[in-house]
Structure 1
Amino acid sequence: MARSQEHRALPAGLLASAEWQEACRSRDFARIFRLVKVKAGIYPSRVAALCGMTPSRVGEIMAGQRGLAHIDVIERVADGLRIPGAMLGLAHRPWEIPASSITEERPPEPLPAVPREPQRIETAEELDDLLALVDGRASRSTLMALRSSVQDYWRRDNAHGGATLRPAVVGHLRYVGRLLDSAEAGLRHDLQGVAAELARLSGWAYFDARQYSTARTYFTQALKLSHTQGDSLFMANVLSCMSLLATYDGNPSDAVALACRAQDAARAAGEQPLVMSMLHLREAFAHAALRDAQACHQAVDRSRAQYERSRGHEAEAPDWVQYFDQTKLLVDTGIAYARLGEPARAEPLIAEGLRRENTDQQRGRAFHAYWLASAQLQLGKLDEACSSAGLALDLAAAIDSPRVSGHVQELHRRMLPYAREAPVLAFEQRMREALG
């Protein structure tokens, strides 16, 4: 949903009131939305438009039926309503900083359809088209090179984060779109498969950059391409990404629906057990975000059962799910429990997963260190939580992943009640040095 840019600052009297400041300090968004309605004349439909939500969701929050917990959604509300970041325990928002000190952001890359619709060609794209003509038509060797590039992008994404990969991956997607225009029938199907994988990778890179609307556009493109191919298993893969995106974007009910639809698509392709195991854990994440303990535990049990079925047959699974091994099952189960608010179950699983993981999986290890710290903080183990948070911070500083950085900053906010404790003071100092 598009957000209006016409909203001005909230009334100074409202911002100064004790009731408002207490609502912000406790992140009581039901009270915040009621106050902006009464004191600033911003009605729920307008709140929805400003904050990128549906009116029904705003109504549920105001009625106390839903809450806001994820940092990205809270930042959207702060920006939409012009609530100073410090009031909600956030960093200064970009609009609070004088315009002269802000580096102008480049607009997002255009999203071409594949196959391409006729459109005006910019100078850089015109050069690409000329070079493509020199290259001639796609061949089997072209296809092999493209697949190798996709595999390399995934390796780099896992090691260094996806944000910096966006221009390269989107450029490759455009290039495959041009090849499809002149591809022979025997290669067209395979090229569409590569285009679907590049569209999914583009969506993932934007997801890692926390640009969720653009990520959703590319995931949708990947879904349409895999549907054209009749590749139900890859459709399940894309739907699982969209489910995770919905969980992060504060829409856990949508996340459940997407995960279940992904399972339906996988069953239509023969119910490959390793794929089903991964999909059941995506469903568990969404149930955990809803705090539905029974449904979460049932999904975890189904994931384990499917993983046992896959033992000895891993080589039969698609390449894109080969990352989901026993270590990943272990740590993701722990994360589901941490999301659910069961830290005693979560801590040993995530700790063991971290111990087993390859050290070159920096982004994954950063996420897992964050979730370990989160579980330890819930358990009151402040020293251990700060140690794990320090590991997450060190890894976050070495990669380009706004998602990881956002998690670390959220963890720091949750440590504010312990702000005078020595481990927290040491962590804050490291954080200032690493992330500024």
Structure 2
Amino acid sequence: MGENRKFVKALAELNLSQPELVRRLNEEIGMLTGREGRLTTRDVRRYLRGETLWPHEKQRIPLERVFGRSATDLGFVPRSKNAHQAPPEDSVHRRTFIAATTGTAVALTTAGGRPRLGRSDVDRFRREYSKIVARDQELGGAHKVENAAVELAMRIQSALAGGGASARVRTMLYSLASDVTCSAAFAAIDAQARTRARTHLDKAVALAGLSGDSETQYHVWNHLAMVAVQRKDFAEVSAAADAAKTQGIAKKDPLYASLAHMRNAHGYAGGRQRADALRAIASAEQSFARQSDLERPPWIGFYDQAEFDGLTSIVWLRLGEPDRAEFHLHRALATIRPDLVRNRTYYSAHLSLAQAQQGDLELACITGDRTAEMLSTVRGSKRTADTLEKVRKVVVTAGSREPEVRGWVERAQGWT
């Protein structure tokens, strides 16, 4: 027995006090069982000290949901089959508990009690996934979006663990579990929670590999490139984008090829490799021009002409040409879909930054105010808030004594 270092580290990363963790765990237990939990800080201390080796299932599932990690990733150790313990729960009863407490019913059909998973189960999970994608596009990197994705991915994996699926259904469910985990990662990316995002993507890589599906694997590499940009690891950005381009889906569908080239461009621009960045942008544009309307997974629905202009603008900002960036930002904001609230707010913040970098301080402040108003409904997007902070720094450095500008600087302190 000794300190559970993984749990200690996970709690520190979550930045929660012990009482706050207890509150969230008891809420989760209430959602699962219909009766609020009775955990106390004493239970948390037992987790931290390693005295609780393997929490009871009604504690374990809430722990996994709050932290977005499996119990083993949190440092807990399953009891061995030879250890003295209560009789193991019947596997069917265990699956029924998980299904009932998370709102998903799995039909039990065979004589042995094994669940028979079919296309209807896949379709049901996909509908839930589509709702998560829609909430993410509206709310940004909110915790509830990330948690909903983690929970859904766990339920899909739980259904898979029960067996009884055909090879085709199993492949579709592994693919879907990976896509859902990528949604959790993207919510963390938007919240600038890079460690959590990378943890989600490490799981998504394994699930994508089990699916054997090129589009699923592309999805993971795309998100890894985004995390690498945030970490300023531009070599990894290039590696992830190149890996995405090798996937069959990128060779077959020009839209996927275009997005991979765009990720390359962001990596090159971040590393101040101007010539390479411009070549990548040109390749992205050529591929984008060849794409046609096809039925695609919901996650890539954001990548339209407006998004192409928005992503292009960020390349120009990183290359130090805010006037070119502003041109593309105006085009993006003029055509962006109404449902993409988070993206509109994000690019509005970048428009303010482009204007400030050109010395148009009063205009940048007006755009910044408009962005802040939208940000009040997209509280989870720390990427946007951080962009407004960059605007504030540029305006402060300019040293303007205009009352409107100085007033904006004071207001901006409350947003960033």
TM-score by length of 1: 0.69
Tell whether the 8 Å contact from 2:310 to 2:347 is kept in structure 1 after alignment.
yes
**CA RMSD of the aligned region, Å?**
3.4
* Partner of residue 70, structure 2: 111
For the pair 1:414 / 2:394, whether they are aligned, the reply is yes
Percent of residue pairs identical:
23
Candidates 168, 186, 190, aligned match of 2:172: 190
Letter in 2 for 1:213: T
Question: SS in structure 2 opposite 1:153?
Answer: helix
For the pair 1:289 / 2:270, whether they are aligned, the reply is yes
* Partner of residue 162, structure 1: 141
Change (3 A) 1:384 1:104: farther
Tell whether the 8 Å contact from 1:274 to 1:314 is kept in structure 2 after alignment.
no
Change (3 A) 1:165 1:235: same
For the pair 1:201 / 2:218, whether they are aligned, the reply is no
| Alignment map for 1:54-93 (pairs within 5 Å) | none
Is there any run of 5+ residues in structure 1 with no aligned partner, and where? 5-93
* Partner of residue 98, structure 2: 128
For the pair 1:251 / 2:233, whether they are aligned, the reply is yes
* Partner of residue 79, structure 1: none
* Partner of residue 90, structure 1: none
Q: Deviations over 1:18-55 (max 9, x none)?
A: xxxxxxxxxxxxxxxxxxxxxxxxxxxxxxxxxxxxxx
Question: SS in structure 1 opposite 2:251?
Answer: coil
Deviation at 1:266, TM superposition (A): 4.4
Is there any run of 5+ residues in structure 2 with no aligned partner, and where? 6-14, 25-65, 80-87, 89-93, 109-114
Letter in 2 for 1:292: Q
Candidates 371, 374, 385, aligned match of 1:395: 374
Letter in 1 for 2:210: T
| Alignment map for 1:340-379 (pairs within 5 Å) | 340-379=319-358
Letter in 1 for 2:406: L
Tell whether the 8 Å contact from 2:171 to 2:210 is kept in structure 1 after alignment.
no
Tell whether the 8 Å contact from 2:264 to 2:277 is kept in structure 1 after alignment.
yes
Tell whether the 8 Å contact from 1:113 to 1:221 is kept in structure 2 after alignment.
no
Tell whether the 8 Å contact from 2:356 to 2:391 is kept in structure 1 after alignment.
no
Tell whether the 8 Å contact from 2:342 to 2:378 is kept in structure 1 after alignment.
yes
Tell whether the 8 Å contact from 2:245 to 2:260 is kept in structure 1 after alignment.
yes
Deviating more after overlay: 245-254 vs 183-192: 183-192
Tell whether the 8 Å contact from 1:266 to 1:275 is kept in structure 2 after alignment.
no
* Partner of residue 275, structure 1: 256
For the residues of structure 1 that align with 2:407 and 2:338, how far apart are their CA atoms? 24
* Partner of residue 200, structure 2: 218
Change (3 A) 1:133 1:384: closer
For the residues of structure 2 that align with 1:383 and 1:104, how far apart are their CA atoms? 44
Deviation at 1:347, TM superposition (A): 0.8
Aligned length: 334
Change (3 A) 1:201 1:111: farther
Deviation at 1:374, TM superposition (A): 1.5
Deviation at 1:129, TM superposition (A): 5.4
For the pair 1:321 / 2:300, whether they are aligned, the reply is yes
Change (3 A) 1:420 1:306: same
